[in-house]
Amino acid sequence: MSDEILNDSAEREIPPSPRRPARFSIWHAVQTLAGMAIVIATLFTMWTPANFFSNNLLDEMMRAAKAAQATPYPTLTPSPRLRIGIVSGHMGHDSGAVCPDGLTESEVNYQIARSLQTMLKADGFEVDLLDEFDARLLKLQAMALISIHNDSCIYQNDELSGFKVAAATEGKTPESARKLTACLVDRYGKDTGLRFHPNTITRDMTEYHAFGEIDPSTTAAIIETGFLATDRKFLLENTDTVAKGIRDGVLCFVRNEPVSITPTAKP
């Protein structure tokens, strides 16, 4: 009876457990081929007629296979991301211009700077948001540094409306400063519809303190995004548009895109 049970069990086939198809991986295939190459090379170096059919050969083959599996393979590391510095004008120092109702330039600058930081991070940059007199400015090395400011809350006339840009022309590459200025003027003007107002650029902009603190290889510019007296409503209600105008200027500079204007302005 027991023999019949054993025979019956032997005749029945146990269905194989279902397996999910293995995913093909080029990297695993390369590793496998590399391991096979090591084993084959080892066989050729240790083969002799005397030991070809010996147990030593099998031992050597096993050791070679284990060594191939243990061989470390280099891993790819991502390229470092480009760094952009953003100074939120007056932050950590003072209020800047103060409007009659208490709105401060520092508040407006910060909202624009935060929006710009978010956009540039989404573009893949490393972005430092900096105070006006931030210790990190000293010898800062970056693809670009942008300082965000705004002009007075005191109304004088409707002509005082628009934006201004000045760059650090005393660095190692003044042509890069001119390119950054041109990109900011072109892209910011197109995105916001505000006009470039070069006649009110002052020495406080052209000789901006951070220009002398950063590393000479860093291209830097300061932008006053509008006049709080005449452009206030636009600046407060369209913060993301304002930030996008600066962001597009930075991308124009980084990508060396063409610009339709070359601003030239003296204080």
Could you tell me the two tokens for 135?
Answer: 């210790």
Q: Which range (7-21, 72-86, 121-135) has the least confidence? A: 7-21
Task: Give the per-residue pLDDT at 5.
Answer: 40
Task: Return the H-helix or E-strand segment holding 5.
Answer: helix 2-11
Q: What is the mean pLDDT of the chain?
A: 81
CA angle at 168 for the pair 149 and 239, rounded to the nearest 5°: 25
| Helices 55-70 + 26-46 axis angle, to 10 | 150
**pLDDT tens-digit readout, 89-132:** 999 999 999 999 999 999 999 999 999 999 999 999 999 999 99
pLDDT on residue 7? 44
Higher pLDDT, 37 or 139: 139
- Our CA angle for 181, 184, 188, nearest 5°, is 150
Q: Which domains does the chain show, CATH number per domain? A: 25-76 (no CATH), 83-254 (3.40.630.40)
Give pLDDT, residue 71.
52
Q: What is the pLDDT of residue 171?
A: 67
CB 208 within 8 A of CB 168: yes
| Residue 105 neighbours by CB distance under 10 Å | 23
| 78-95 mean pLDDT | 88
pLDDT in tens, 241-258: 999 999 999 999 999 999
pLDDT at 76 exceeding the cut of 70: no
Place of tokens 């296979």: 65
pLDDT digits (tens, 9 = 90+) for 130-187: 999 999 999 999 999 999 999 999 999 999 999 999 998 776 778 999 999 999 999 9
Q: Is this prediction's pTM over 0.75?
A: no
- Percent of the chain, pLDDT > 90? 64
Separation between Cα atoms, residue 133 and residue 87, nearest integer Å: 9
DSSP state of 229: T
Residues 6+ apart with CB under 8 A from 98: 104, 105, 153
Which strand (E) or helix (H) includes residue 224?
strand 219-227
Confidence band for 47, pLDDT divided at 50, 70 and 90: very low
The DSSP 8-state label assigned to residue 167 in this structure reads E
